[in-house]
Copies of this chain bind each other. A is one copy, B any other.
Amino acid sequence: MARPTIADIATRAGVSKGAVSFALNGRPGVSDATRERILKIAEQMSWRPHSAARALGASRVDSVGMVIARPARTLGVEPFFAHLLSGVQSGLSAESISLQLLIVEDTAGEIEVYRRWASEHRVDGVILVDLTVKDPRVDELKALELPAVVIGGRGGKGALASVWADDRDAMLAIVEYLAALGHRRIAHVAGTPNFQHTQRRIRAVRDAAPRLGLLDAPSLTTDFSDAEGAAITRKLLSQPDRPTAIVYDSDVMAVAGLGVAMEMGVAVPGELSIVAFDDSILTQLMHPALTALSRDTFDFGRQAAEVLLDTIADPTTVINRRTADPVLTVRESTAPPG
């Protein structure tokens, strides 16, 4: 028989549908003996719950969603999302909950997706990335009453659950390391200005500058693309008092920056030190290999999944979980200034 239903199991076990449902969901209402028997039969018939039927009755679909709002062009090279995804899945697979992934162009599209998901009951909750300042998605999700967890930023005052790492401390560690090497002119090629993590990193650099006696520590924002990363680097290296070290907010921009340095004949790390605020094979493929901040992105995703499941189970308690601090992996692209 193809695809047995609980009714089939019920007939075979000589009990009612209800009893089978109780047994399969481990809830009281049947004796241990009966439960045992039902479970064995279900196993034999290789029964699996029909997700739609269960969703209809129990009003939960065992599925969560994640929307990434970045142009596909820039997305692929960043291993960040692939690792994050794998992590999220590993966190979900234990409960055999599936993941819906959607790549959209912008935040408006993302909100549209949330509305659709909510009204069609397609997901039990969502995972948010790239939180911005005054992020409209937070209010929207509140309004939709869709459980959510924010990755990489506090969800605001009691608003949404979150999983975050300490960007500030990480950035301080980088700048302090460069200062200790002797650098006094450090530039920061940041990401999109309205991302919360961008702002935190910029603030960290600004705050540390006077304490470390830095002559200059500009933070320059970009759209996270290789093109802008390269353009800003070109500008920086053309200045009379050019920086002796540059910190990039992503590995892709760091690679682009390295390319510009080579093109302009600026030796790395002899005349310029480069640090990437994110690690991946990309940084290791380069010559010189790039010093980078390594975060356990996989674990990040895993924890986000866990927190989301907890939030779905009990939407009243808002969890804010801090993950392991990122560490600086020193490679060949950093050295004392020439």
Contacts and interface: CB of A to CB of B under 8 A. Distances in A.
Interface of A: 3, 46, 48-53, 55-56, 61, 63, 72-83, 85-86, 89, 96, 98-103, 116, 119-122, 226, 252, 255-256, 259, 262-263, 280-282, 284-287, 298
Nearest to A92: B102
Contacts of A121: 50-52
B86 A82 contact: no
Nearest to A289: B259
7 contacts: A49-B120, A52-B55, A63-B100, A86-B103, A99-B102, A255-B285, A263-B287
A90 B102 CA distance: 10
A263 B75 CA distance: 29
B48 A116 contact: yes
A282 to B, nearest CB: 6
B83 A76 contact: yes
A102 B66 CA distance: 12
Contact of A76 (B50, B81, B286): B81
A334 B285 CA distance: 20
Given A79-B77, A80-B76, A280-B77, A48 B102 contact: no
Given A52-B56, A85-B101, A281-B226, A298 B77 contact: no
Given A48-B116, A52-B56, A121-B51, A82 B99 contact: no
Contacts of A50: 56, 120-121
A141 to B, nearest CB: 15
A82 B56 contact: no
Nearest to A58: B52
Contacts of A86: 72, 75, 103
Contacts of A73: 79, 83, 281
Chain B CB within 10 Å — which of A51, A78, A298 has the most?
A51
B89 A116 contact: no
Contacts of A56: 50, 52-53, 56
Interface centre among A73, A80, A280 (most CB of B within 10 A): A73
A45 B181 CA distance: 65
Contact of A103 (B49, B72, B85, B119): B85
A263 B61 CA distance: 53
A46 B119 contact: yes
A89 B76 contact: no
Given A52-B56, A89-B103, A252-B285, 19 more contacts: A3-B119, A46-B119, A49-B120, A51-B52, A51-B55, A52-B52, A56-B56, A72-B86, A73-B83, A75-B86, A76-B80, A76-B81, A76-B280, A86-B103, A98-B102, A99-B100, A226-B284, A255-B285, A259-B286
A82 B252 CA distance: 15
